[in-house]
A and B are shown apart, each in its own frame.
Chain A
Amino acid sequence: MIPSTDDSILEDPIGAQLDNEISSLQDQIAALKAQRSIQASTILSSQSTRSTLNRLRASQKQSKPSPTTTDTTPLLSTSTAQLSHNRENLYRLCAGITTFRIQDPDPNAVDEGKVLGLRIDVASTGKYLRPYYVMLNKPFPKSELLRVHRHTIPPCIPLSSLVDRYLPNGKGSVSIGSKEPVARKQDLCRFARGLRKEVVGYHNRVGVIKNLRKEFKLDEKVSRKGKGRERVIADISAADAEAKQIRIEWVDGRIGRCVVGEDGEVRKCVIIGEEGRDFETERRVTRGRMEGIGERLREGIY
């Protein structure tokens, strides 16, 4: 029998409705699951849970284990895991740089696959970013020299020059603990600190440029005519990978480039318009840190 066409037309909206319902229910399930896991973590982290579990275990040890009583060992181990996780989080929050050990899965890995992981946690604009990792190993037999094995540092951070300076592994370099007075000494602490400084500096610069864009409302759609002040700056963006150069474009065709130091101070600035250099604005821009560029520019405009 040929199914009537009416049916299929009728079915379609119902099917769509069902699909909608299913997807919304699935969203709900996911949300509830997430909530449950948060609740579980909270309960496990609390001090009283821990003590209750310990008491339960103690009492079970005394009495003979019967099939009716629940086995507390998995509970206890999860609780321990949770506590150590919390402690790790605390260290990560407070220190910014944390280390951990990894086992290299490669069966041919050097030093039996022992790898030291460095984790750098960075926060920018009120949020924690994905941490950066550097994995170090000791590839040289009979020496404690470290070498970067793998890392997730993007190329805009000068990792290799930091390695050259703080973790040299060429001839004449000496590992951390040794007492030989050689100039090329490995220093993991200073390396990690230097790296973190670079990473944080990079994110701060990117954040400042983002704020400058917000200040001049560059990411919003052009507002309707007659409303608000007329736009003066056409574009502000980072001109290089490390966000150490800022490019500023004015609506009237002037183009500016300023060089920013590692710590965010404006070092140099050139602004060129159709009538040559705009020395006044240049002076204004170079007068302080990069965060204040927007404010100083506006002083000149209005």
Chain B
Amino acid sequence: MSLLSVPTTSALPSLQLIPATHPAVTRILYRLTRLSLLSLVLDWLDERNQETSAPYLLTSDDEDDEQDFYPPASSLRALREVYTDLQARKGSKRDVVDRILEGDWRDGISLYQLAMADMQYLYDHPASQKWTALKIVRLSTELSAPSGTEKNSIPRFHPATFLRNLQREALPDVKAHYNLDRHPTLPLLILRVFILESPYNTGLALHSVKERTTFDGSKTFYVAFPDASPYIYVSLASSPSAAPGLVSSAADNNSLRKLMLEGIPKAFSKPRDRFKLEGTSLSARNLDALVERRGGGRTNAAGGGWSVYADDKKKGSDNPLNVQLPTPESSILEDDQEEKDSTEKKLGMKRKRVDDPSVVKRRRLVAKGRFGSTAKAGDGKGIERLDVRLEDHFPIVSALPDDEADAAETGEPIRKDKKQKGRRSTITLELDRTEEEDELASDGWRPDVRITFHGQHVFAGIKELVEAGVIDGEKMPGWMTGEEGISVGIVKDGRIKGNKGSGL
């Protein structure tokens, strides 16, 4: 720790140690499972990480302390063996955490180590954060609009420059620690921003009066940058974990978060080339789903049944040199025969089904046609929530009789928010956004109906219902297949309004 603490505008250094006795350190480490904790420790002990996460080792002038419960190891290699041994043995997590905090890292845990632990937790629990996709759009003035040459739509992302610019946007009385990490499987770069409210970037910042709130989860904040894509994903507060008694801290954190969010497009910008962020009506816990619908590939604007055009599976068959006749849909179905048996069992018992095989086959064909190659229960690309506000005319003939049954099936009744009551959620706000202009529409009564689909994989659930005959696959509106690629939307005349999802 340096002797002087001077207010500064620079970022928190990764080397900054946090005392091992700090409650937050214990909490973050305890969140991990024993296995991932041990592999994390072995990462810390890697030669390359010694600058930022060196353990406490026995130095030559140290005398052996008999009282020491965890005697320090003499070398890195010895320590690595100790932890590899622990990996092979069974034991409790408490032992490992105690060993780390009281033994090998008794001087403190660096911010970098803490960030690694947090990232590990994120990878272990992919659903722990709720991500919102935002689009980076060029801020164009009317004057410089169609010059023709400047049509690059993806801002170039250079991590070092980006972080420097982001830091410049941060206020002087807020310090942040940044950590970039590559997602192990997805084409994503994840930035963890850890915000600290203090003008100092030394140890003093950590010893502030509000020590207890210093490390609550809402001050860490993740931004994911998919490769070759004009979108970013931002994590929202997953849990209101503010300590009781400190009412203002939650609001403080929100404003800090907002500040960071405003800094992101500015950090992308450079002189004469500026960007802003735009919402894309999609948020989900599942990063796979986001990469599929707001990523750098072909599937962004070809969801649902259109996915057959973006499909990668039938490699080479969609090729002008292929003389063979394309296989008709009905024979493709036979491939997933075994899949059929499994779904057959799961189907709900609420209604009597016509079990005639030809009818079943017909339904499966329809489902295949409507959903294409998406919305398979096991593909891990499900969104967990779909909020829709229906703005259709009150039907004279019942237009969408199936929705009610479906919402009931997924376990949540149709939600009708009383607007005057209580706090509005962001979703409600989003759905209410365009309401004012519609008051004028006097061409009939448009009741305010809101539907929430909720489940592990919403569209796979709807597909199963189509296959089971609960939903009529041919009359089902398009937004129920997920082809718009959104999680919040307003439906008018049976279609999603605005249609931001189609990638343009």
B487 in the interface, Cβ–Cβ < 8 Å? no
The answer to whether B320 and A108 touch across the interface, beta carbons within 8 angstroms, is no
Q: Which residues of A sit under 8 angstroms from B227, Cβ to Cβ?
A: 241
Some 19 contacts from A to B, beta carbons below 8 A apart, are A37-B325, A81-B325, A89-B321, A92-B320, A105-B305, A107-B474, A107-B476, A128-B320, A128-B321, A150-B301, A150-B302, A150-B306, A152-B299, A152-B301, A152-B306, A156-B154, A161-B151, A163-B504, A245-B156
Kindly state whether residue B494 has any CB partner on chain A within 8 Å: yes
- With contacts defined as CB atoms under 8 Å apart, how many contacts are there between chain A and chain B in the complex? 131
In the complex, chain A residues whose CB is within 8 Å of the CB of B229 = 155, 241
Greatest chain B CB density within 10 A among A149, A152, A242 is at A152
Complex contact A110–B146 (CB within 8 A): no
Check A165/B146 contact, CB under 8 A, given A107-B477, A108-B478, A152-B298.
Answer: yes
Contact (Cβ within 8 A) B153 A135: no
Residues of B within 8 A of A121 (CB): 320
Q: Given that A105-B369, A107-B477 are contacting pairs, would A155 and B300 also be in contact in the complex, using a CB cutoff of 8 Å? A: yes
How many chain B residues touch A (Cβ–Cβ < 8 Å)?
A: 48
Contact between A154 and B298, CB atoms less than 8 A apart: yes
Which of B228, B325, B503 meets A85, CB within 8 Å?
B325
The distance from the CB of B168 to the nearest CB of chain A, in whole angstroms, is: 23
Smallest CB separation, A62 vs chain B (Å): 30
A160 within 8 A of B: yes
In the complex, the answer to whether B474 meets A133 with C-beta atoms within 8 Å is no
Let me know if A107 and B475 touch, CB within 8 A.
yes
Q: Report yes or no: B309 in contact with A108, Cβ–Cβ below 8 A.
A: no
Q: Is A186 an interface residue (CB 8 A)?
A: no
Whole-angstrom distance between the alpha carbons of A164 and B148 in the complex?
A: 10
- For residue B356, CB closer than 8 A to chain A, the reply is no
A7 within 8 A of B: no
Looking at the assembled complex, report how far the CB atom of A46 sits from the nearest CB atom of chain B, in whole angstroms: 11
| Chain B residues, CB < 8 A from A150 | 301-302, 306, 309, 483, 502-503
Which residues of B lie under 8 Å from residue A89 when comparing CB positions? Answer: 320-323
Q: Is A159 touching B504 in the complex (CB atoms < 8 A)?
A: yes
Q: In the complex, what distance in Å separates the CA atom of A109 from the CA atom of B475? A: 11
> Which chain B residue lies CB-closest to A163?
B504
**B310 CB-CB contact with A under 8 Å:** yes
CB B123 to nearest CB in A, in angstroms, measures 25
Question: Is B144 in the interface zone, CB < 8 Å from A?
Answer: no
A38 within 8 A of B: yes
Cβ A155 vs Cβ B309 within 8 A: no
Q: A107-B476, A150-B502, A156-B154 are in contact. Are A38 and B301 (CB under 8 A)?
A: no
Contacting pair B495 A82 (CB below 8 A): no
List residues 187-205 of chain B with CB under 8 A from any CB of chain A.
Answer: none
A93 contacts chain B at the CB level, 8 A cutoff? yes
What 6 A-B pairs have minimum CB-CB distances, sorted nearest first? A108-B494, A106-B478, A241-B228, A92-B320, A161-B151, A152-B298
Distance from B181 Cβ to chain A, minimum over Cβ atoms (Å) = 20
Which residues of the partner chain A approach B320 to less than 8 Å between Cβ atoms? 89, 92-93, 121, 128
- The yes or no answer to B175 lying at the interface (CB within 8 A) is no
Q: Tell me if B81 is interfacial: C-beta within 8 Å of chain A.
A: no
In the bound complex, residues from chain A placing their C-beta under 8 Å from that of B495 are 106, 108-110
B504 close to A41 (CB less than 8 A): no
Residue B296, interface by CB 8 Å: yes
- CB pair B301–A151 under 8 Å, yes or no, is yes
